[in-house]
Structure formats: structure tokens, C-alpha cells
Structure 1
Amino acid sequence: MAEKVIQSLPQSTPAGKEELGKIEVAPEVIEVIAGIATTEVEGVSGTRGNFATGVVEKFGKKVHGKGIKTEWTEAGLIVDVYCFVQYGASVAKVAQQVQTQIREAIFNMTSLATQEVNVHITGIQFDQVNDAKTE
């Protein structure tokens, strides 16, 4: 049996407002919100992307949803984040801050509560030191 692919997430009408129609949010919007929230956390050096996002970024375009995967289930919204942590930062503290930041950002911007925010640390980013010799 084929899985049902959700094209958009239903939004509730804000309290005290007249319902004028249906409000839906594309999953890509949730990914962008989560991506920006992730990069704002101190200790996160970046998110993991794929080959295509790497090529796009080489041409100067910023891909905010890189390293973010969202899934809408009957239980609720599940967000998976794949990121790199800077060397010397506490992995546990950074991961917890990423979870908190994403939950707050998604709720504040869309009123959607997240069921899970799973943080996957895929690497440690060391400081780049240029050892170029001067002539």
C-alpha cells in the first residue's frame, strides 16, 4: 500500500479571528523555519546537506532547509535535524538548545506543536587554521 504524501499542513484559525478560509503551510516552510532556528544556536557550525544543496550554495544561494527532514504523522509533527557542532561545545547542551529553539520557532510562526524534535550530530567542526608560509 502506498503511503499518503502530505502536501501541506493544516493551520487553525487564530483565536478571536473570523474564519475566512483554509490556511495551509507547506512542509518546506517548516524545514526553512527549523533550519534558520538551528543555525541561530551557539555551538552549531552548520547543517548537513546533500550534493545538490552543496552545488547550489557554491553559486551563492543560501539553502535554509538543508539538513532538516519533517514528517507529519497522526501523532503530530516530527522534525529531524542533521547538524555539525563546533569543537569545544557541549554536544548535549547544543542539542537541547536546538530542540528548544526549533519547537519555539515553529510554534511562534505557525501555531503548530511539534511531537518530536530529533537532533542528529553528524560531525564536529574544527577551527580552520591557515598554515600558509609567507615568503
Structure 2
Amino acid sequence: MEENNIIGDYGSVKISEEVVAIIAGIAATDVPGVAGMSGGIAGGIAEILGRKNLSKGVKVEVGEKEAAIDLYIIVEFGARIPEVAWDIQDKVKNSVQNMTGLNVVEVNIHIQGVNFDKEIKKDSETK
């Protein structure tokens, strides 16, 4: 696991890629329209990861003073995907930059699937 070294007046601070991934995962799952993070597509089905696996579904590359982040997302049915993606990019970039001091050069969003659970629950409740 790579770490980022930030040299300050009193010494250095090391930030691991997993810490950046967790920050990005929390920020992404807080965006309305995001059903969860995706652990990848297994057998053609995108699996939704719970809140315990926030660093899963996030790929981070950390340089000396900058970071690039890839997020694998499952969106809620009915959400406007471009708006959700822009909101994720904005929130993740701001959260990582504010918490770590790293310059986030890119946040790439990979939509892995659509969650239909809420729509199914609404249909069964109305019947």
C-alpha cells in the first residue's frame, strides 16, 4: 500500500491510499441517487457493497501532492446519472482535498449498475 508523505515544519505526515479511498467512498455514498459502491461485476451482476466496505469500489493513485480517484458506483433507479456523477465528482474532490491537503487532479465515475429496490418496494406497497 502506497503512502503519501507531506513534509511540514515539524516532520512528515503519511497518508495511505486506503485512507483516501475511505474518504472518497464516504463522500460518494452521501450523494443523493447513489445506491452504493460496486465491488465489480461478478457473473454480469454488479454487487452493492455495504457501508463496512467503503474503500472497496474505489481505486486511488496517490502521488507526492496529488491524487487520482476512480469510483465504481451503483445508482438508484430514476436518478439523473450525469447530475449524480457531477455531484459525486464535486463532493469527493472537496472532501479529499479538505481532509488530506492533496490536490485531486481527477475523479472518474464508473456506473456499474442501477438499483431497482426502492421502485419495487413502492409498487408492492401500493397493491
TM class by shorter-chain length? 0.7 to 0.9
SS in 2 for 1:48: strand
SS in 1 for 2:52: coil
CA contact (8 A) 1:9 1:24 kept: yes
Bigger Rg, structure 1 or 2: 1
TM-score by length of 1: 0.75
Q: Does 1:109 align with 2:103?
A: no
Q: Going by fraction, where is helix more abundant, 1 or 2?
A: 2
Output one character per residue of 1:69-103: Cα deviation in whole Å (capped at 9) or x when no partner: 00135894110000011011100000000000000
The aligned counterpart of 1:7 is: 2
Give the RMSD, CA atoms, in angstroms.
Answer: 2.6
The change in CA–CA distance for 1:73 and 1:24 in structure 2 (over 3 A counts) is closer
CA contact (8 A) 1:38 1:102 kept: yes
The aligned counterpart of 2:71 is: 81
Q: Going by fraction, where is strand more abundant, 1 or 2?
A: 2
Q: How does 1:81-100 map to 2 (within 5 A)?
A: 81-100=71-90
2:96 alignment partner AA? I
The size of the alignment, in residue pairs, is 116
Moved over 4 A (4+): none
